[in-house]
Chains A and B, each alone.
Chain A
Amino acid sequence: MNKSASVTQDFADWLSPMLVKELRQGMRSKVLTTSLFLLQGLLICNVIAGFGSGGSEVNLRVTNGFFWSILALPLLLILPGSALGSLGNEIKANTLELIFLTRLTSRRIVLGKWIAVMAQAALLAVTVLPYVALRYYMGGVNVTRDLLTVGLMLGLSAMLTAITVALSAFQSKLLRVFIIIGFILLLQSGFYIAALLAFDSGGFAVGGTGRADGLLFLGQFAMALLLIGLMLEVGAARIAPEAENHAGPLRLLVLLLVLVGGFTAMRAPDARWLLILAEAVAGLFCLGALSENIPGVKSLYGPFTRRGVPGKAAALVFTPGWVPGVFFTLLVIGLLGLFWQGAGWLRFGANEQDQLRLASFLGFSATLLLPAALISVRFRKRGFFYIGFTAICAGVFFFLTMLTNTQGNSHLYQFGAFLPPIAIFSIGFEELDEMLPVVLLWLFALNVLALVLLAWKCRAPLRDLRARLENRMKKDQPQIFADENRGYSNKSA
């Protein structure tokens, strides 16, 4: 074999081009080299300090804590943080568009970026292993547990990096902040409801059978993988051209997340927090789906049209746009309802606790559906409507909290109960228990109203969607179809 052939038939030919590029750049970047040298220096100091501590338990605990802090810094902060600019910098430098014109898809671009950061994290983790072995000789160290902790940190780093890669696709820093706040609020309200439920049912009691522990581990592992996939798909969806359908894979992943969280919660009582997490994530994605404008690209519907009736039914949920988003949201709410019932949280009884749970569930669904029903069909920036709605809810909530704290009267919350998110919070106050049936009825009415309005608003867009699926379009929408006399036609498509 000549020299040129041996040079070109390299290992990198087996890897994704994006990964090769990112590794070439990443391995030479200051972030990695600085982190690597800093980590090695600090670890050497840590080991010397550990050996010099004379076996004192307090000193060992300090060096132990210091060791994990040193490792956590690059793995959980610096490297995931460095990915915050990964897609944004490409967009800013006008290089992402050039990559799009190659054979690389948005998904491969995002995956390449994520794997490259993870490869750097793995490299850092591997360099730590000798110190893990050295620490064993200091005493009081379980090497297996240490290795598991390193692995866990890598897993956490993978999730954080996936989140930062996804956020890096959002050019607006304000939007990034809103997404993070939105997720925290949803998670917080989810855990708030969970706390209410656990107080009554003992659902979060520590313990369980060995089988449940195994299931809990599997559930957590699957959820982590799905969350990583979901985040990477978010990044890919943000940078992808309009002609690519990323709404379908995103919604499918969310449904899988709800299914995994739900089944695990039903089988392992300790894992009910997974259902809450799945609910918070699903809620955020439902808001995203309900905020999507309907794209005018014919090729998006081709894969669904080709699969006959099942394909057309799937298109009602998995094609981009707010109308399929409504169906997707209803499906998510339905699934969550089933799992809530399966986990023993949702019962249609006259008992106060049953009503409390039902009200919190209805509050969740109304929070998603009501803004979608109130929003004008012609409102182009649908996402802003949701941000505005959330801002109003937050404003009213903080105002009422301030009043409650100054007046010492939690009845004041009832004035905000007309907004579903505040209704959820208000039902937790014991003084408001007598109001519970009223709040329940109000939330039920809001859900019915939202569904009726949505059914009415979806009529025309649904007709259009059906026409697209059946390859029929009005003549005043030339952007949808190519000229039938040139190259290809509706029949052949």
Chain B
Amino acid sequence: MSALPPPLPTPAISVRDLHRTFGNVQAVRGISFDVFPGQVVGFIGANGAGKTTTMRILTTLDSPTSGTAEICGCDVLNYPTEVRQRIGWMPDTYGAYEYMTVAEYLDFYGRAFGLKGTARWHRVREVMDFADLTPLAQRPANKLSKGQSQRLCLGRTLLHDPEVLILDEPAAGLDPKARIEFKNLIRLLAVQGKTIFISSHILSELAEMCDTMLFIDQGQVVHFGSAENLRQHDSEEVFIDVRLAGDSAALAQWAETHPGVQLAGTHRQGGRLRMASTEPEAVAACLRQMVADGLPVLDFHREERRLEDAFVDILKRK
């Protein structure tokens, strides 16, 4: 007798047929997905696609027109208090207070999250250490750089040790150094087992941080799966970079005589070929044919498909 598969855990985020309408504008149109504990999900979409609206519904800050959204099994509309205890929300923009230092800012939120006395003091210190805010402790909270502000906001998000982190464009407007620092912080949180739901425009960055990608367009889910899956299986063509020992013109001649292969571009030592088939066997057969036809192949590799291209392809198909 075959054993039953183990039951799936309760999703950390569960969304079913979610709709949100503002007047005549349908911001979210029936999206459904599950995010399981420990997953790091990238939420991608163009401006106005419905990302922030969905995130605000998940954080109990907005109400759906219809459909349900649950965090760790608690409905966001009917059990907002329980949901808030389980989530950490980092909005794309937020204001820091006047006349308040970084330490006081975190201390206030620590109090507001119900942390008392020494426990609060320790937690604020932990968070400041984690987000590298200790050197800024006595700086006015409203006089920080963008990168420092984002670290402060992340620190605030972590004060009550939430199970689910919902981050809306956390890396927007950061310089490259701050972006790398922030990415490292997210990686550390992922290692700690937090469920992270993060939106961004910079797909390559999300691909490095996330194990799953959720694409949304005009309020509807257009792709939900891993970045690798997206790159490998959701494409109708493959690009191959070829370097030859001799003249690159030979590659153009060879491509003209072989159906299913097109020359996409040339460079000094070879060129890029576009293949209509994405099957690995077809790619291997192409290389075999080149060698058999006497082409002096020095290097032959299948190009990693860029996520931006994948996203555009998905939108085109839609």
Contact = CB atoms under 8 A, between A and B. Distances in A.
Contacts of A99: 112
Contacts of B16: 483
Contact of B60 (A241, A298, A486, A488): A241
B14 A4 contact: no
B117 interface: yes
Interface in A434-493: 477-479, 481-483, 486-488, 493
A298 B10 CA distance: 23
Residue of B77, B89, B109 with most partner-chain A CB within 10 A: B77
Interface stretch (B93-101, B216-224, B249-257, B294-302): B93-101
A101 interface: yes
A351 interface: no
A9 B120 CA distance: 10
Contacts of B60: 100-101, 241, 243
Contacts of B74: 487
Contacts of B87: 101
Interface string B46-84: 000000000000011101111110100111011110001
Contacts of B10: 487
A98 B94 contact: yes
Interface string A96-108: 0111111110000
Given A20-B111, A486-B14, A486-B70, A25 B100 contact: yes
A28 B99 contact: yes
B111 A243 contact: no
Contacts of A482: 68, 70, 75, 77-78
Interface string A13-26: 10001101100110
A21 B108 contact: yes
A8 B104 CA distance: 12
B272 to A, nearest CB: 46
Interface in B250-277: none
B29 to A, nearest CB: 15
A297 B78 contact: yes
B70 A24 contact: no
Interface residues of A, number: 44
A94 B95 contact: yes
B121 A7 contact: yes
Contacts of B66: 477-479
A102 B77 contact: no
A242 interface: yes
A486 B121 contact: no
A244 B9 CA distance: 30
Contact of A29 (B99, B104, B121): B99
A21 B59 CA distance: 24
B117 A8 contact: yes
B156 interface: yes
A299 interface: yes
Contacts of A477: 66
A201 B21 CA distance: 57
Contact of B67 (A95, A242, A479, A486): A479
Contact of A4 (B59, B68, B121): B121
Given A4-B118, A299-B79, A478-B66, A95 B95 contact: yes
A297 B80 CA distance: 11
B99 A97 contact: no
Contacts of A5: 117-118
Most buried by A among B78, B91, B93: B78
Contacts of A478: 17, 66-68
B113 interface: yes
A8 B98 CA distance: 23
Interface in A290-331: 296-299
A464 to B, nearest CB: 16
B146 interface: no
B19 to A, nearest CB: 8
A481 B77 CA distance: 9
15 contacts: A4-B118, A8-B118, A13-B117, A21-B97, A93-B95, A94-B95, A95-B96, A97-B91, A101-B84, A102-B160, A103-B114, A478-B68, A479-B68, A482-B77, A488-B73
Interface of A: 4-5, 7-9, 12-13, 17-18, 20-21, 24-25, 28-29, 92-95, 97-104, 241-243, 296-299, 477-479, 481-483, 486-488, 493
> What are the 3 A-B residue pairs with the smallest beta carbon separation, nearest first?
A93-B95, A17-B111, A102-B112
